[in-house]
Structure 1
């Protein structure tokens, strides 16, 4: 009786894990843009595997070859999707080379199908690594695409993601298990030291030109200041100082005059700087990426 009960329990837990792992949702991001049929082709391949899949777009406006921004957009978005969602991220300047094509299973239960070229840097830190598997292209590759070397997004990644999301294959059938590590891009992590806070500018609030950092609000509060107080902000590209001013930390844009520099906490609860109704990025030629550092201190 115990054996039967144990078998039933094992079957139930395994089934529940499978349902959680493969929920039929596929989310695409790329640097392809929408001017041609590349994105549509990927979705067509996915629907060819299973027409019942639910397909969504994260973004296809990653600047060409900008692996760092692809990494950030996954970090910004993945946690808000249900467990078991399969992401396809294609920003692949090394397409056709010996970089690995992988599927990362995060500790949160999300799957990311991508070249292992740094795209997984932030989401691996944020959600943790449960397993990494290398895609076996002898099995998980679109039929009759073996001589296509420059569109792995369509022929390998969309196809594999669709097979995984539709439960055509299990995660184990993706390919060989790799060590629980991914290629990581170096960058300045947020740190508080000697009454100075230092961090990275991972991304711009692109529509408005505001500059977002990876410095959490709590770290700014360690400086002993509250909204309304001035903060000294310096911004560097590598070792070159491009911005060095005191700005007021405010809760809303309406608290400062139009055209005035300001500091605020963005929707991810991280420290940011802006020009009210202007573009901080264009005004001061400040952009984003692992080479950008922001330093904040109290006046």
Structure 2
């Protein structure tokens, strides 16, 4: 089975999963106590006739199963519905907010991978040395500490006390320097990094700690393998052993964690966006839940679920690319 065929096959397999997510989300959102129309009209005087007219306008007067089928029919055609409270298409609202969230999540993963893999390798090579003990303490702190608390501590230390880094007003790299009054692209990207550094570390610490622990364990296991002992017996340089024999095999669990933890990172971004005042998808999702904006809740959920499915498929493909023993569903 070729790469394209395998990818198509895995995406088709994901369709029932997405349908299940849509049914569960739609049921939970619509069965939540509260009236979205009354919330929308909060602070305004409205008679029962106005309320009934708005309910009919948004299809809220129909049975829940009819509303679901209507929504899915529009979704298949690319229509994600209309937000009750913002009076705007859901797709437009998501498009305006998804950029900051993706920037935050991707930068957090870059930080996690760039730090965890080298630290995990060094800790494995220096097993039971002081560096190894310190790395395990750091990993334990990272996996047991909430990301929002780390974010608050970073703000208090580096923004409030030291004044080195800003704590809000994220600078977007896709906007022009003139938008922010920056003198050229050099200063623009410098400011992007300065504003992104604290939320990136806050969100990426959990991923970094998890990956470092797995990297250390896998590297220790790989370095104790028979193929490594044989390579050393033949006089293969230690650097070559680390790079070609131990490192590549140890990355398979890392790939799995990176792919499956995408949903965790997206969920953690909700709190980080609030802590650092970032107008991203997570914050929009929270506001949609508070306002019982059913269409917006469904749209964001389906986008996040689709991103997760794509992450899993990419993980499977990367598995087969790194480990030749893994094939794209071919039988022996």
Give the TM-score normalised by the residue count of structure 2: 0.23
Between Structure 1 and Structure 2, the one with more strand by share is 1
Between Structure 1 and Structure 2, the one with more helix by share is 2
Larger Rg: 2
